[in-house]
């Protein structure tokens, strides 16, 4: 029988790089080699999460805006159809009154 091979696909290809980088930064901070703020030491954890969050918020805002614009366009189209309908009804009434 053939063995099935599985591949691990990670977002941005950073699946093992970012945790390793975080561990390296923590080690350097704890040994006193670097004098960075803990915010920057832990940046490999929070920066990608923040970027993904900002992208998600952008997508949601875009979707809501597109939905709002589509709703406005549908309302305008409905109003236009109502005006055309009223005009046709008025024309038919005028023809009916002339006869």
pLDDT tens string 38-61 = 999 999 999 999 999 999 999 999
The whole domain housing 37 covers 11-98
Number of domains in the chain: 1
| 21, 28 contact by CB (below 8 A) | no
Confidence class for position 3, pLDDT limits 50, 70, 90: low
Task: Answer whether residue 52 is part of any domain.
Answer: yes
Angle of the 43-98 helix axis to the 17-30 helix axis, nearest 10: 140
Hey, how many other C-beta atoms are within 10 angstroms of the C-beta on 43? 17
Task: Answer whether residue 6 is part of any domain.
Answer: no
Average pLDDT over all residues of the chain: 88
Task: Answer whether residue 41 is part of any domain.
Answer: yes
pLDDT at 72 over 90: yes
Task: Answer whether residue 49 is part of any domain.
Answer: yes
**Separation CA 21–CA 88 (nearest Å):** 72
């Amino acid at each position: 029988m053939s063995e099935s091979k599985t591949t691990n696909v990670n977002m941005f290809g950073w699946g093992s790089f970012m945790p390793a980088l975080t561990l390296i930064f923590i080690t350097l901070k704890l040994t006193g080699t670097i004098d960075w703020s803990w915010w920057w030491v832990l940046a490999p954890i929070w920066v990608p999460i923040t970027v993904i969050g900002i992208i998600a918020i952008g997508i949601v805002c875009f979707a809501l805006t597109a939905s709002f614009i589509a709703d406005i366009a549908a309302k305008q189209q409905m109003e236009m159809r109502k005006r055309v309908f009223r005009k046709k009804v008025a024309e038919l009434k005028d023809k009916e009154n002339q006869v």
